[in-house]
């Protein structure tokens, strides 16, 4: 029987970041940090994972762990791995880490937006037209994204990017997940997501959906005004409510108790304000695997839209690029089904001399195309800052 090694825990999350090597899996969150290395077994669907994990022992007798990434497209293969070694550490402390010694993007880089900013506003108008008619107007919300492709003369330094992400948002979910490669070069999804798709431990289940956004302002008074305006906005609250309804609906069949707060709360990252609702519940069956809950929830209208099928079709028709693993999920689960999955937003797909950044936003019937463009520009900043790039397009 393959045996997973449980390594001596790290004393800080930064220690795990500094230990990161290409093809490892890293996730830091408020509940702890984790580094997975090597491959004992793989799976391409969450349904196979419990069986695969059941075949793996650990050297401590603890439940074996799997890690990995789920793509946006529910029908596309996932990239799930049972690592040879798992090393845990504490939650990331406050932003005390030193700046990385090396530049995140050595060499010269050029940026190409896909679509370009003007085309994105046209895309938003097309989405609004789908919701407002004439014709079938069952579509209530659709999330449209942009990609910013950076091509360079060097290769991104993943440890430097992770260090910057962790410094900027120590309370967020900072991750690096290996992806199916293009050729022999490692391909890595790196990001700092503020959004918890699902965490499950025993009977306890939590989801923390976000939707409704405003860029942060450097002046504290104006920053607070932005949060107040976000909370007061009927459009942003409606956009948020669609997500909370869908999350509650997806979790309800699995839960004997589900608490859904009536009012969203504002949450921050270093670059954005969001409306957030913490949904908590108690599962009927404590053995329900976290990966099946992730599968039941994905894609929430925070990344796709509502109704899901109509929104998928609108995205396929309007967005001019393949999302791949952006707006999927990254996370881990153990043989008991306990685990944590985060929504893969505020992320970049790094492969050799190419870095693809992604940012999207929920489009509602009353969306303003210029404001939606500005929102994606602000969201790109999380990764651009971590990459040491000032450009905003």
Rounded least distance, CB 7 to ligand ISC, Å: 33
Q: Which of 355, 359, 380, 378 is nearest to 158 (CA)?
A: 355
Binders in 135-154 for ligand ISC, by CB under 6 A: 143, 145
**Measuring CA to CA, which residue among 13, 390, 371, 3 is closest to residue 169?**
13
- 345 in contact with ligand ISC (CB under 6 A): yes
Minimum CB separation from ligand ISC for residue 91, in Å? 22
Applying CB under 6 A, among 65, 346, 351, 367 the residue interacting with ligand ISC is 346
Q: Taking the complex as a whole, how short is the minimal distance between the CB of residue 90 and ligand ISC, in angstroms?
A: 27
Residue number with CB closer to ligand ISC (106 or 307): 307
- Tokens representing 231 are 């909370």
Looking at 2-10, 148-156, 173-181, 358-366, which segment touches ligand ISC (CB under 6 A)?
Answer: 358-366
The structure tokens listed for 198 are 């699902």
Q: How far apart are CA 209 and CA 200, in angstroms?
A: 15
Q: Write down the H helix ranges in the chain.
A: 13-19, 49-54, 117-132, 158-168, 220-232, 234-251, 290-297, 308-318, 369-386
Instruction: Compute the distance between CA of residue 64 and CA of residue 52 in angstroms, rounded to an integer.
Output: 10
Which of residues 92 and 363 has its CB atom nearest to ligand ISC in the complex?
Answer: 363
One of 33, 164, 213, 290 touching ligand ISC (CB under 6 A): 213
Residues 295-324 close enough to bind ligand ISC by CB under 6 A: 302-303
Q: Do β-strands 265-268 and 185-193 pair in parallel, antiparallel, or remain unpaired?
A: unpaired
Told to check if 362 binds ligand ISC by CB under 6 A, we report yes
CB of 169 to ligand ISC, least distance (A): 13
Catalytic annotation present for 195: yes
Q: Please pick, among 195, 319, 372, 375, the residue that the annotation labels catalytic.
A: 195
| Shortest Å, Cβ 36 to ligand ISC | 25
Interacting positions 57-116 with ligand ISC (CB under 6 A): none
CA 263 to CA 277: how far, in whole Å? 7
- How many CB atoms lie under 10 A from the CB of residue 199? 23
Active site residue 200: no
CB-based closest residue to ligand ISC: 213
Using the minimum distance from each CB to ligand ISC, give the nearer residue, 40 or 179: 179
Cis previous bond, 297, omega within 30? no
Q: How many CB atoms lie within 10 A of CB 3?
A: 11
Site for ligand ISC in 191-210 (CB under 6 A): 195, 210
- SS3 for 22-80, per residue? CCCEEEEECCEEEEEECCCEEECCHHHHHHHHHCCEECCCCCCEEEEEECCCCCCCCEE
The CA-CA-CA angle for residues 85, 89, 91, to 5°, reads 140
The answer to the question of residue 328 lying near ligand ISC (CB under 6 A) is: no
Among 55, 141, 282, 317, the one annotated catalytic: 141
- Residue 89 to residue 32: CA distance in whole angstroms: 6
Q: Looking at 66, 206, 211, 329, which residue binds ligand ISC (CB under 6 A)?
A: 211
If one asks whether residue 247 binds ligand ISC (CB under 6 A), the answer comes out as no
- Residue closer to ligand ISC by CB (options 283, 378) is 378
- Angstrom distance (rounded) from CA 230 to CA 212: 7
Residue 83 vs 305, nearer CB to ligand ISC = 305
Is residue 279 close enough to count as binding ligand ISC by CB under 6 A? no
Q: Cβ of residue 136: shortest distance to ligand ISC, in angstroms?
A: 23
Query: Helix, strand, coil % (nearest 5) of the chain?
Result: 30, 35, 35
Q: Among 157, 177, 158, which residue's Cα sits nearest to residue 27?
A: 177
Number of chain positions touching ligand ISC (CB under 6 A): 18
Does the footprint of ligand ISC cover residue 212 (CB under 6 A)? yes
300-to-250, 282, 343 alpha-carbon distances in Å: 9, 20, 9
Q: Which is nearer to ligand ISC, 80 or 302 (CB)?
A: 302
The least distance separating ligand ISC from the CB of residue 360, rounded to whole angstroms, comes to: 4
Which residues are at the interface with ligand ISC (CB under 6 A)?
A: 143, 145, 195, 210-213, 274, 302-303, 345-346, 358-362, 379
Please identify every residue annotated as catalytic.
Answer: 141, 195
């Amino acid at each position: 029987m393959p045996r997973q090694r449980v390594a001596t825990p790290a004393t800080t999350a930064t220690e795990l970041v500094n230990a990161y090597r290409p093809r490892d899996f890293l996730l830091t969150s408020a509940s702890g940090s984790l580094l997975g290395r090597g491959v004992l077994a793989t799976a391409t669907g969450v349904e196979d994972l419990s069986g695969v994990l059941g075949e793996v022992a650990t050297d401590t007798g603890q439940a074996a762990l799997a890690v990995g990434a789920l793509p946006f497209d529910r029908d596309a293969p996932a990239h799930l791995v049972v690592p040879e070694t798992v090393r845990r550490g504490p939650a990331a402390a406050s932003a005390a880490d030193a700046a990385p010694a090396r530049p995140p993007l050595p060499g010269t880089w050029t940026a190409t937006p896909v679509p370009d900013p003007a085309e994105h506003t046209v895309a938003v108008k097309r989405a609004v037209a789908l919701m407002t008619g004439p014709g079938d107007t069952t579509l209530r919300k659709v999330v449209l994204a942009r990609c910013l492709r950076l091509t360079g003369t060097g290769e991104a330094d993943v440890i430097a990017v992770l260090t910057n992400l962790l410094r900027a948002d120590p309370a967020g979910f900072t991750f690096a997940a290996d992806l199916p490669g293009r050729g022999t070069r490692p391909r890595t999804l790196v990001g700092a997501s503020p959004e918890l798709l699902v965490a499950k431990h025993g009977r306890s289940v939590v989801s923390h959906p976000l939707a409704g956004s405003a860029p942060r302002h450097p002046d504290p008074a104006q920053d607070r005004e932005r949060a107040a305006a976000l909370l007061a906005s009927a459009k942003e609250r409606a956009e948020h409510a669609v997500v909370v309804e869908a999350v509650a609906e997806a979790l309800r069949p699995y839960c004997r108790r589900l608490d859904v707060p009536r009012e969203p709360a504002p949450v921050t990252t270093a670059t954005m304000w969001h409306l957030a609702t913490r949904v908590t519940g108690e599962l009927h069956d404590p053995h329900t695997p976290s990966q099946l809950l992730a599968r039941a929830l994905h894609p929430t209208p925070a990344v796709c839209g509502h109704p899901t099928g109509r929104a998928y079709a609108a995205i396929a028709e309007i967005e001019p690029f393949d999302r791949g693993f952006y707006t999927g999920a990254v996370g881990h689960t153990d043989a008991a089904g306990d685990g944590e999955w985060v929504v893969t937003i505020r992320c970049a797909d790094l492969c050799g001399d190419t870095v693809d950044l992604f940012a999207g936003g929920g489009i509602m019937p009353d969306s303003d195309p210029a404001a939606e463009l500005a929102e994606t520009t602000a969201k790109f900043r999380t990764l651009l800052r971590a990459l040491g790039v000032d450009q905003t397009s």
